[in-house]
Amino acid sequence: MTQTDIQIAQAATLNKIQDIALKVGLTDEQIEPYGHYKAKLTMDALKSLETKEDGKLILVTAINPTPAGEGKSTVTIGLADALSRLGKQTMIALREPSLGPTMGIKGGAAGGGHAQVVPMEDINLHFTGDMHAITTANNALSAFIDNHLHHGNELEIDTRRILWKRVVDLNDRSLRHVNVGLGGPMQGVPREDGFDITVASEIMAILCLAKDLKDLKNRLANILIGYTAKKKPIFVRDLEVEGALTLLLKEALKPNLVQTLEHTPAIVHGGPFANIAHGCNSILATQTALKLADYTVTEAGFGADLGAEKFLDIKVPQLGKAPNAIVVVATIRALKMHGGIPLKALNDENPVAVAEGFANLKKHIFNMKAYGIPVVVAINAFVSDTEAEIDIVKEYCEAIHVPVALTEVWEKGAAGGFLLAEKVITAIEAEETHSFTPLYDVAELSVPEKINKIVKNIYGGRQANFTKKALNQIKTIEENGWEKLPICMAKTQYSLSDDPHSLGAPTGFDVTIRELVPKLGAGFIVALTGDVMTMPGLPKYPAALKMDVGENGEAIGLF
């Protein structure tokens, strides 16, 4: 019988975190242990690395996924384990999972099978408390705002124009729309509010983009919390609480060190939403891994049209380092879906549908290559795949001169990733002279121009259309001088277009920009297409129903 992820994880023998740290040259004094198998790196340790040279960066992304996901994290981990076993000093930089989906549907998110980061149950539960610190800072700001309203509202904040929402790290649909401040004059000022899930908080995005404590504080100070009735913007700095918020976040800013099942050091830190935020682990995590290892493997959320685009256009300029190679993960199942096969028939052999669906993969490959970065395709193996189907993908990739490798890391760990690792090394070594070309000039182009660039070049669409609301918001953005920021697109992950049902590589479509939200602390402008879910709900029978604690205190029901 196949073992579940948690069974594999709990059966593993972990190395002490001090030994993992030592593998990349970190001493006991440079880490702060959280139990025996997790640690935070000290800010002093990070500072001591500043002058070191960066290693190679490998970005793992994917085609537009099926609802089950294509296994990006699993491939990231398996690839890193394979690189390690091939003698390369390797580290992983990954996002940390949110509790909400864990209790709801997913039951856990730290890779899968024999390619996992561990201790899996800690990472999936409270880990080192980063999510809770972000929740607390986010909600402290809400409390400060409402307290300001209650004590006379000197700043004249318009209660109808407050942008800042509360958060919980849970799937809780009943908190999407709430009224607060009810109960009379001693209980605050009544107003409409709502809760997002913690990973959707701008503070999460800020934590993931901050270079150090000072930068963190600056970014917090710049958060736009709302407007007065006369449309004057109000910032956190007007409330003078950026110091308190920084204090609440000072431990959360330190990157977390764990290990894979095969003892490759992994930094798991930060986890912003990939729709209304940029969807990658923290700058500090990636930067630290780059300094400590020769090869750093990291991932971006959703498909390459969202996650990788934002990685390259939002994160890379902050990081000051572009990927040396991009791995695009595809599965036979997803290719069949893009070839027109319904979800329930994806397990049936159908090489023709795979060939049809290749258009989606091809578009992502060309998109990534346009940034000037070599691409390697990873076919992440599933039990239902057939040789004929896999051969089609290999053949099509070879036809467009893109290296491709079948990965079986879920089943075999590092051993299932050697082929991919070798192709990635070859790609990096062959392309020493490649140079990164950003998609757009962030300072020269207007907001609509930048959005159109993404819609045309990345999505393959005709143009972006703007609602009246969006046009008004662009006016506000330009009047306030906020237009020189990159764009963070919030779009369905299931299609290259803004229609989740439009699969393959659609063309001739327009994308409607419904709303624009300036995230001035994070430093980007969110462009919303369609309805974007920032607070998931629980299913009728949530994963929580199967959760428990065993006789020896071990977690049951994470999977």
Q: Which residues are catalytic?
A: 72, 74, 95, 106, 274, 302, 382, 410
Bridge partners of 178?
193
Residue in 115, 170, 353, 420 binding a second copy, rule: CB under 8 A = 170
Quick one: which of 175, 455, 503, 505 contacts a second copy (CB under 8 A)? Answer: 175
Coil, strand, or helix at residue 77?
A: helix
Maximal CA-CA distance, the chain: 71
Residue 180 lies near a second copy (rule: CB under 8 A): yes
* Main-chain phi, psi angles of 247, to 5 degrees: -60, -40
3-state secondary structure of 41: strand
556 contacts a second copy (rule: CB under 8 A): yes
Judged by CB under 8 A, which of 52, 160, 173, 231 binds a second copy?
Answer: 173
Closer residue to a second copy (CB): 37 or 295:
37
Of 67-75, 138-146, 358-366, 481-489, which part binds a second copy (CB under 8 A)? 138-146
Is residue 38 annotated as involved in ligand binding?
A: no
Q: Whole-number minimum distance, CB 245 to a second copy, in Å?
A: 8
Q: Rule CB under 8 A: say whether 27 interacts with a second copy.
A: no
Q: Check the annotation: does 68 bind a ligand.
A: yes
Does residue 36 touch a second copy according to CB under 8 A? yes
**Which residues are within 8 A (CB) of 503 and not within 5 positions of it... i.e. 6 or more apart?**
64, 337, 338, 340, 357, 360, 494, 495
As measured in angstroms, the least distance from the Cβ of 237 to a second copy is 12
Of positions 87, 183, 342, 508, contacts a second copy by CB under 8 A? 183
Q: d(Cα 150, Cα 16) in Å, to the nearest integer? A: 51
Residue 254, annotated as binding a ligand: no
171 binds a second copy (CB under 8 A): yes
Region binding a second copy by CB under 8 A among candidate stretches 139-147, 302-310, 438-446, 451-459: 139-147
Binding residue for a second copy, selected from 19, 156, 251, 391, defined by CB under 8 A: 251
Is 34 an interacting residue with respect to a second copy (CB under 8 A)?
A: yes
The sign one gets for the Cα dihedral 44, 199, 177, 233 is positive
Write the Ramachandran bin of 481: left for phi over 0, alpha for psi from -120 to 50, otherwise beta. left
Q: Which of 54, 172, 215, 422 binds a second copy (CB under 8 A)?
A: 172
Is 129 an interacting residue with respect to a second copy (CB under 8 A)? yes
Q: Does 503 bind a second copy (CB under 8 A)?
A: no
- 23 bridge partner residues: none
20, 123, 236, 248: which one binds a second copy (CB under 8 A) = 248
With CB under 8 A as the contact rule, the residue among 33, 317, 438, 506 that binds a second copy is 33
Cα distance between residue 110 and residue 132, in whole Å: 18
Could you tell me the smallest distance in angstroms from the CB atom of residue 217 to a second copy?
Answer: 7
**Are residues 12 and 27 in contact, defined by beta-carbon separation less than 8 angstroms?**
no
132 binds a second copy (CB under 8 A): yes
Q: Which residues contact 360 (CB under 8 A, 6 or more apart)?
A: 63, 64, 334, 335, 338, 496, 503, 504, 505
The response to whether 384 counts as a known ligand-binding position is no
Part in contact with a second copy (CB under 8 A); list of ranges 130-138, 368-376, 446-454, 501-509: 130-138
Chain centroid, CA 91 distance in Å: 18
Contact 482, 337 (CB under 8 A): no
Interaction of residue 147 with a second copy, rule CB under 8 A: yes
- Is 67 annotated to bind a ligand? Reply is yes
Cβ of residue 170: shortest distance to a second copy, in angstroms?
5
Instruction: Note whether 85 binds a second copy by CB under 8 A.
Output: no
- Judged by CB under 8 A, which stretch of 243-251, 313-321, 337-345, 351-359 contacts a second copy? 243-251
13 binds a second copy (CB under 8 A): no
Tally of CA atoms within 13 A in the half-sphere of 107 that contains its CB: 18
| Encoded amino acid at 297, one letter | V
- Under the binding rule (CB under 8 A), the answer on residue 142 touching a second copy is yes
Non-local (6+) Cβ contacts of 486 within 8 A are: 313, 314, 317, 442, 450, 523, 524, 525
Instruction: Count the residues of the shown chain that bind a second copy, applying the rule CB under 8 A.
Output: 72
- Binding positions for a second copy, 509-548, rule CB under 8 A: 537-538, 540, 542, 544-548
Q: Are 98 and 216 in contact (CB under 8 A)?
A: no
**Tokens standing for residue 25:** 């040259």
Q: At 162, which helix (H) or strand (E)? A: strand 157-162
CB of 519 to a second copy, least distance (A): 22
Q: What 3-state DSSP class applies to 461?
A: coil
Binding site: what residues are annotated?
Answer: 66-73
Q: Which residues are annotated as a binding site for ATP?
A: 66-73
